[in-house]
Structure 1
Amino acid sequence: LKALEAEELRLQEESVRLHQINIYLSDRISLHRRLPERWNPLCKEKKYDYDHLPTTSVIIAFYNEAWSTLLRTVYSVLETSPDILLEEVILVDDYSDREHLKERLANELSSLPKVRLIRANKREGLVRARLLGASAAKGEVLTFLDCHCECHEGWLEPLLQRIGEEESAVVCPVIDVIDWNTFEYLGNPGEPQIGGFDWRLVFTWHVVPERERVRMRSPIDVIRSPTMAGGLFAVSKKYFEYLGSYDTGMEVWGGENLEFSFR
């Protein structure tokens, strides 16, 4: 038993070294798990006119992502998004070299009619990889997600409704926390925050200012924010292109969110 525990510990440490999260444990968790609901009860009272909401293409770029976190993201999107709103899920492989992301991944996705796999011919970096997905998207709205996310039931509707109301809105969800080591869903214990930046042009989080709290008529109203974190957001495809999309000269992630926010 001790030898087994020691071997498991070694495998866990190796997975953390490779991925910065405990993939050894993630691989033992269902790809189809559902997260517990920890949202404001008022959210459940919201009603949506599904026939008049825009459709979306969900774009997920990845590079050498672990199997379980990538597939859990895909299945989470498929299983929590209303079929009438989800045009497609576009996976963009940014020239990964891990064996499990080649034929095995293509075979896994081939049975999922709404999922498309695009492969870059060379390493592009997050920004240009996302642009590959955006250029191929058929949905009216582009929804960008990181490749290690899990979605709640009802995550998509409020994003699309806001864009349906105002095409120039760029909408970000509240980002909850999943523990990197235990994969326990921790939710978001604090109040929602808005984005800002410091004089080094580094993204920062800030409490919602009093003037914005006064403007809000309900705790589930939209909160206006000067900048966004950039990993997860939805934007009208037409408006994204009108703004000039991303700067194709950006090689890695970390500045595209502020640059796009300033536009």
Structure 2
Amino acid sequence: MAKSRTDSRWVRRCLLCWLGPLLFVGLAPSLLGKAQEDEFGALGLLLMPLLGLTAASLLGMACSLAGCPFHLVLLIQVPAQVLIFFYASHDASHATLPSPPLRGGQGAVVPAVQPAQKLHPPALADANFKPSGQWDQSNFLQKTKTTIPQTMSVVLPCLNEPYAAKTVMSFCNRTPSEVLEEIIVVDDASVPPMEEKLKDIPSHCNLKVLRHKESLGLMIAKQTGGDAAKGTYIGFYDCHVAPAVGWHKETIEMLSKKERRLVVPMIGDLDMDKWDEKVHGALTAKCYINFNADFWWYDDESDFIPVISGGLVATTRKWWQDSGGFDPGMRGWGGENTDQSLRAWLCGGDILRAKSSRIAHMWRVDSDPRTLSKFKLHHHTDNLARVAAIWFGEFKDKFRDGTLDPSLNVTAATRRIQDLQCKPFVHFLHRFRTLYRGGGVLPDKVFHLQLKGTDQCMTKLSKGLGLAKCTAKTTHFHLANMLPHGFPHPDDFDSPQSESGHQVVCGGHSAASCALCPQGHGQEYCHMDCRWLFGNCVPREAASHAPLAPELRFSGLRLWNSIECLDRLDASGPILYFCDITGHNLNQQYIFDRRGVLHHGSGKCVTVDSANHIVAGACEGASQWEKIEMFVPAETTRYLESVKRAGLTDDMPDG
């Protein structure tokens, strides 16, 4: 009986000893996770096997002290030690190592595309990657603190492009190898194939060529390249550009801060001979659209961009995949830039320019045959109409005077909008209200311009502006373009251009009035008490300092439902050109004085000659114009109502 009680006691003591290693094994995953969080490095990898050995060794010591029979100690300790070591090692090797990043692999190609043709197999980013999927642990121990690489896939859509090789080599030479994931040239059925022109590209450029069987257009080519890209970020660029050294840095920095983002570089002029940016050339990046989905350039101090110009933009691969890229119904070219931009702004993203990321671009110039396109497309859709049908919502009746085809099938695109929970178009207009309201795209008043004392109105003809009988079809105008600093007030032109009865100081001389200061020398003799304004020397403290009514806070004259404004005033009258919405273009600065005389910044006025032609002439005795049949346009009324209905306020971001 005593022996039985003694046996039960040492059995219980032995069982308690054996419980210790089991606890270590149960805690293995959490202890291992803690090791990774604390960045133990190599110790984190070996922690569990060491703990298993320690536990098994303590088991043997404890069992001996507890008086367990020696044969039981061997029977338990040896198998337990082997099992614990195997379990802990197996757990560590499978639970702690991340999957290796795959670089340079081939991606799936859309059905319309032939299988990817890789001219030179790119080197693997990490020599530790094994085809079997196993990892070289010896080298991995040295990389436990390495972050996931932020790589860029450069996508170049090309069709019969003579400068593809130069463009590829520019990106290859000016992008660090650790950043350049790949250069993907999408050959949109060029003749001969682009592969022949790119056969000498070195293998370290990581070039891939994907070829379409037939030419499907720019956005389909971009879609093919974007879908095949493997980089963290995807840069879409034209096949005739040259990036500057360091072009990628700010672009990647901006993209790393927000997933749903597009980044546009500063776009410069390309020197065709040097294949580099022209010295002292112009730089641009920003565009906007009107209600016809036409886009044009502008610039201001904000780095936010309403609409990208088209061919030069980068985004995250995640956003490319989530957003779906472009409207799948588009063919040809044009419109994809607006579609992509509105998807960003209305679906939770934004668009920024990277001021230090510079890429020189070859512009199409009729006078330089080297720049002319070498292709014709056989597949083309009305992509701007598709943009309006997809995105304009309650404003789409403004598109081309209400001629949008209601049968246009945009079901796939609108379904994607619903999936992304995108906002209505008014949110885009309100986000850039300084531009759309302050620049006059959403005008306060629209009117006809009637030649005073006649039934004739200014209207757009096949060439320039002329006169026609005032009817509902006569061209409507409205004030537009922002008001730059120093722009005159209508009352500035009411001062009599004669002696005022007191002397004024005009720089190095005096005169009886500002009007007499120039003495035939023009602006250089108009200083001190006077200032040069619209070709006139006027008092410096003139009425221009009086506050302007909101409807007068514009510097130009725009054709309604158009992207054109009155530009340079020639002898044959004003020419028409794309509106400079910021108001800084002196050619587009026009103002009505209180009498209805239309002054131009050159000092001349818009008048009518004896042959009833609109011409430039002296302001003294110039024709007078009346704004007739003024009304608030429907788009402005709708905008104000939609803003109120959506709860949008003036303290929200603008511009």
Larger RCO: 1 or 2 (CA < 8 Å, sep 6+): 1
2:333 aligned residue (229, 235, 253): 253
1:143 lines up with 2:223 in the alignment: no
Partner of 1:58: 154
1:134 aligned residue (222, 226, 237): 226
Partner of 2:251: 159
Question: Which one-letter code corresponds to 1:228 in the other structure?
Answer: I
Q: Within 5 A, what are the aligned runs for 1:100-249? A: 101-102=194-195, 104-105=196-197, 107-109=199-201, 111-112=203-204, 114-179=206-271, 185-187=277-279, 189-190=281-282, 192=284, 194-208=286-300, 212=302, 223-249=303-329
Q: Which moved more, 1:192-201 or 1:80-89?
A: 192-201
Q: Within 5 A, what are the aligned runs for 1:27-106? A: 54-66=150-162, 69-98=163-192, 101-102=194-195, 104-105=196-197
Where in structure 2 are there 5+ consecutive unaligned residues?
Answer: 1-145, 344-655
Question: Which one-letter code corresponds to 1:159 in the other structure?
Answer: T
Distance 1:179 1:153, change over 3 A: closer
Distance in 2 of aligned mates of 1:115 and 1:86? 10
Where in structure 1 are there 5+ consecutive unaligned residues?
Answer: 1-49, 213-222
Structure 1-normalised TM-score?
Answer: 0.68
SS of 2:191's equivalent in the other structure is coil
Distance 1:110 1:76, change over 3 A: closer
- CA drift at 1:146: 0.2
Question: Which one-letter code corresponds to 1:117 in the other structure?
Answer: V
Question: Which one-letter code corresponds to 2:337 in the other structure?
Answer: N
Distance 1:164 1:53, change over 3 A: farther
Aligned length: 198
Distance 1:171 1:179, change over 3 A: same
Aligned partners of 1:70 and 1:147 also within 8 Å: yes
Q: Which moved more, 1:81-90 or 1:199-208?
A: 199-208
Distance 1:180 1:106, change over 3 A: closer
SS of 2:182's equivalent in the other structure is strand
- CA drift at 1:203: 1.4
Question: Which one-letter code corresponds to 2:156 in the other structure?
Answer: I
Larger Rg computed on CA atoms: 2
Distance in 2 of aligned mates of 1:139 and 1:201? 32
- CA drift at 1:124: 1.6
Question: Which one-letter code corresponds to 1:154 in the other structure?
Answer: G
Task: Using the aligned pairs only, state the percent identity.
Answer: 29
Distance in 1 of aligned mates of 2:286 and 2:336? 17
- CA drift at 1:106: 5.2
Structure 2-normalised TM-score?
Answer: 0.29
SS of 1:176's equivalent in the other structure is strand
Distance in 2 of aligned mates of 1:167 and 1:188? 34
- CA drift at 1:61: 0.8
Distance 1:201 1:117, change over 3 A: same
RMSD: 2.4
- CA drift at 1:57: 0.6
Distance in 2 of aligned mates of 1:70 and 1:93? 10
Distance in 2 of aligned mates of 1:247 and 1:55? 26
Distance in 2 of aligned mates of 1:257 and 1:137? 19
- CA drift at 1:199: 2.8
